[in-house]
Amino acid sequence: MKLFFRLLKYVFNYKRHIILIVLCNILYSVFSVFSLALIVPFLSVIFGITPAVHSAPTTSFSVDSMIQWFYYYMDVVINKFGSVYALVYIAIVMIVMTFIYNLFRYLGQFFLAPIRAGVLNNIRKDIYRAFTILPLSFYSRYKKGDLLNRMGSDVQEVEWSIISSLQTFARDPLLILVYLIALFKINYQLTLITLVLLPFLGYLTTIIGRAIQKNSKSAQKLLGKLSSLYDEAIGGLKIIKGYNAIDYANRKFQQTSKEHYKINTKIFRINELGGPLIETLSIITMVFVLMIGTSLISKGEQLNGTHFVLFIVVFARMIPSAKKIVTVIYTLKKGLPSAQRIFEILDADEVIVEDPNPIAISEIKNEIVFKDLYFDYTPVASPQDCKVLKGINLRIKKGQTIALVGASGSGKSTIVDLIPRFYDPSFGSIEIDGIDIRKLKIMDLRALFGIVTQDVTLFNDTVFNNITFGKKDIPREKVIQAAKMAHADSFIMQMEHGYDTLIGDRGMNLSGGERQRISIARALLIDPEVYIFDEATSALDNESEAIIQSAINEIFQEKTAIIVAHRLTTIQNADQILFIEEGNVSESGTHQELLELKGKYYQYYAHQNLFHS
């Protein structure tokens, strides 16, 4: 239920609408009772037992006086035209009433519409926002397909189940309340009988509801798994085909899909219990009401025939509403696990949080310093448990070019990812000019860097937009200039629409090296304080790399740069080279110094020289 109330918070953003909806629904319920109540005079006319009201009642604004007015005019009509016209008179009033209550019913829906659409919209916005601010570590724990599913089918499920039930929740309980009041007014004994069965109904509803919620939870989980499989299949199609694993992949999918099928069948079956259940209970109640009502009438007290008929009619009208509420409770239970999956994302607590009083920063004056930094991708209790980075100390002076080299998996990418706070250190700190970067404004901090990541990310957009990426009002010449420096202009110009060519999903229409060059252009364009290049030219051939490198080196002369590279030829001019080994800086110095040291770097270098020469 807590979940439900959390969802309601989204609904309560629309306070004015809610007031209007409640108002419309009250009016709808009241008018619909009135229109039903017209059965009484109708029957009275037919059976010739119309109460005669010969003089106009004293005007007062109450239900009773309205009834008196109604009967007064009916009396006038009967006396003037006969009782057949009285029926016409009643029919006209009935039509007017029906029109009025349906109008309010529609208005209730009318004001609900923006809430239905708006709540979903806001949930989606919140999820997207959460996706963008969540730390990258979050994504190593969840599968991409599953996350996408939360945004897609879980939101959809919330729409179907929870949002669509708003309609019922906004109306039917009110309707039942008004009907119950009417029933009490007609005859309280009979009304009490109808309430006896309520606890049973409540009990059964709860049990069934729980079963639905439990199964639905498993169903959504499996659906997430299926999405991951889709995603993997599309991403890994070459591997699946190349390794003749089509059958294997299909079997894996079918297994999960079958589990999902079984659970879904179960949910549908349980879900359908609601209707028959409430209908049976209602009919049983109705039988009791009929029996007791008849005996009350035969005693000639408290109840007359027309009121009894009215009671039955109002009660019968209540059944569909009760049925709807029960069904909606089930649907709601079905949707709650999805809501939970959504909130799991919104609540993920290891968000990279900004300091409540963040310090602004627009440039680096002196240096970036790593102080006793330990890091692990999973939460750990002590520095000794950190397996990825183990006590890094380093100092990057403004204007220097720092190169990180070392074996694959030694922690180079992790080191550079910590600087823009893609992750926060487990222990120790990173300081810029003596200030812990966790105290800085995150936007400011990240704006200092021009990042080229190891796995290049391009977006399904034009080349131009992929280079400017969200930066507005950038003159075309500047973009072209950046592309030229990144050695990308020539291949971009060969594309069908030049800079306006769409590059397809994640830049799949481009080669690895082309993608790298676009992402280098993106970094060069913003002219940042610090360049962070993680294997930025690894996909290029030696010749292109050398050309880009010389262009970049010129820029790096004035800027601070942190480069990760496997190919040592690209970093020989660096002011400082750090050799990273299993999460530690094992050697540091200039190229020359490290060669003279004849340590790991020297071996590494000798090895590469052998291969390249």
Which residues bind to ligand ATP, rule: CB under 6 A?
140, 377, 388, 406, 408-414, 454
Q: Which two tokens stand for residue 276?
A: 């028959």
* Whether the Cβ atoms of residue 405 and residue 565 lie closer than 8 Å to each other: yes
* Whether the Cβ atoms of residue 518 and residue 463 lie closer than 8 Å to each other: yes
Per-residue binding string, Mg ion, 435-474, x by CB under 5 A, is -------------------x--------------------
Return contacts of 495-499, CB within 8 angstroms, 24+ apart.
Answer: 495/463, 497/462, 498/463, 499/462, 499/463, 499/464, 499/467
Residue 411 touches which member of Mg ion, ligand ATP, none, C-beta under 5-8 Å by kind: ligand ATP
Residue 85 touches which member of ligand ATP, Mg ion, none, C-beta under 5-8 Å by kind: none
User: For ligand ATP, which is the closer residue by CB, 311 or 579?
Assistant: 579
User: For ligand ATP, which is the closer residue by CB, 408 or 613?
Assistant: 408
Tell me how many residues contact Mg ion (CB under 5 A).
2
User: For Mg ion, which is the closer residue by CB, 413 or 426?
Assistant: 413
Question: What is the maximum span of the chain, computed from C-alpha positions, in angstroms?
Answer: 123
Residue 408 touches which member of Mg ion, ligand ATP, none, C-beta under 5-8 Å by kind: ligand ATP
Rounded to an integer, what distance in angstroms lies between the CA atom of residue 452 and that of residue 517? 10
Amino acid sitting at position 100: I
Least Cβ distance, residue 477 to ligand ATP (angstroms): 35
* Whether the Cβ atoms of residue 323 and residue 205 lie closer than 8 Å to each other: no
Residue 560 touches which member of Mg ion, ligand ATP, none, C-beta under 5-8 Å by kind: none
Least Cβ distance, residue 375 to ligand ATP (angstroms): 9
User: For Mg ion, which is the closer residue by CB, 481 or 538?
Assistant: 538
Residue 62 touches which member of ligand ATP, Mg ion, none, C-beta under 5-8 Å by kind: none
Least Cβ distance, residue 387 to ligand ATP (angstroms): 7
Q: Residue 532: phi, psi to the nearest 5?
A: -120, 110
Name the residue whose CB lies closest to Mg ion. Answer: 413
Residue 145 touches which member of Mg ion, ligand ATP, none, C-beta under 5-8 Å by kind: none
Least Cβ distance, residue 200 to ligand ATP (angstroms): 53
Least Cβ distance, residue 407 to Mg ion (angstroms): 10
Residue 613 touches which member of ligand ATP, Mg ion, none, C-beta under 5-8 Å by kind: none
Least Cβ distance, residue 348 to ligand ATP (angstroms): 15
Closest residue by Cα to residue 179 from 340, 34, 337, 7: 34
By CB neighbour count within 10 A (0-12 exposed, 13-18 middle, 19+ buried), where does 100 fall?
middle
Give the DSSP H/E element, type plus range, for residue 179: helix 164-186
Residue 409 touches which member of Mg ion, ligand ATP, none, C-beta under 5-8 Å by kind: ligand ATP
Applying CB under 5 A, among 165, 413, 466, 516 the residue interacting with Mg ion is 413
Least Cβ distance, residue 278 to ligand ATP (angstroms): 51
* Whether the Cβ atoms of residue 529 and residue 364 lie closer than 8 Å to each other: yes
User: For ligand ATP, which is the closer residue by CB, 156 or 454?
Assistant: 454
User: For ligand ATP, which is the closer residue by CB, 37 or 416?
Assistant: 416
Give the DSSP H/E element, type plus range, for residue 21: helix 15-37
Residue 366 touches which member of Mg ion, ligand ATP, none, C-beta under 5-8 Å by kind: none
Express the helix, strand and coil content of the chain in percent, nearest 5 each.
65, 10, 25
User: For Mg ion, which is the closer residue by CB, 172 or 534?
Assistant: 534
Which stretch, 100-108, 407-415, 419-427, 501-509, contacts Mg ion (CB under 5 A)?
407-415
To which residue do tokens 């959390």 refer?
Answer: 6
Residue 7 neighbours by CB under 8 Å, 6+ apart: 119, 158, 162, 339
User: For Mg ion, which is the closer residue by CB, 146 or 545?
Assistant: 545
User: For ligand ATP, which is the closer residue by CB, 259 or 582?
Assistant: 582
CA 568 from chain centre, in angstroms, equals 45
Residue 372 neighbours by CB under 8 Å, 6+ apart: 383, 391, 392, 393, 427, 428, 429
Least Cβ distance, residue 147 to ligand ATP (angstroms): 14
Least Cβ distance, residue 209 to ligand ATP (angstroms): 39
The answer to the question of residue 410 lying near Mg ion (CB under 5 A) is no
Amino acid sitting at position 319: I
Q: Residue 327: phi, psi to the nearest 5?
A: -60, -40
| 117 CB neighbour count, 10 Å cutoff | 12
Residue 257 touches which member of ligand ATP, Mg ion, none, C-beta under 5-8 Å by kind: none
The answer to the question of residue 537 lying near Mg ion (CB under 5 A) is no
* Whether the Cβ atoms of residue 422 and residue 437 lie closer than 8 Å to each other: no
Residues recorded for the chain: 613
Rounded to an integer, what distance in angstroms lies between the CA atom of residue 131 and that of residue 138? 9
Query: Mind giving me the DSSP string for 550-563?
Result: HHHHHHHHHSEEEE
Residue 515 touches which member of ligand ATP, Mg ion, none, C-beta under 5-8 Å by kind: none
User: For ligand ATP, which is the closer residue by CB, 224 or 411?
Assistant: 411
User: For ligand ATP, which is the closer residue by CB, 136 or 196?
Assistant: 136
The strand pairing partners of 378, in sequence order, are none
Residue 410 touches which member of ligand ATP, Mg ion, none, C-beta under 5-8 Å by kind: ligand ATP
Which stretch, 129-137, 255-263, 408-416, 605-613, contacts Mg ion (CB under 5 A)?
408-416
User: For ligand ATP, which is the closer residue by CB, 332 or 565?
Assistant: 565
Helices 305-347, 2-11: crossing angle, 10 deg rounding: 90
Query: Mind giving me the DSSP string for 55-84?
Result: SPPPP-SSHHHHHHHHHHHHHHHHHHH-HH
* Whether the Cβ atoms of residue 335 and residue 217 lie closer than 8 Å to each other: no
Residue 501 touches which member of ligand ATP, Mg ion, none, C-beta under 5-8 Å by kind: none
Residue 140 touches which member of Mg ion, ligand ATP, none, C-beta under 5-8 Å by kind: ligand ATP
Least Cβ distance, residue 559 to ligand ATP (angstroms): 22
* Whether the Cβ atoms of residue 588 and residue 578 lie closer than 8 Å to each other: yes
Least Cβ distance, residue 421 to ligand ATP (angstroms): 15
Least Cβ distance, residue 413 to ligand ATP (angstroms): 3
User: For ligand ATP, which is the closer residue by CB, 109 or 454?
Assistant: 454
User: For Mg ion, which is the closer residue by CB, 322 or 392?
Assistant: 392
Contact footprint for Mg ion (CB under 5 A): 413, 454
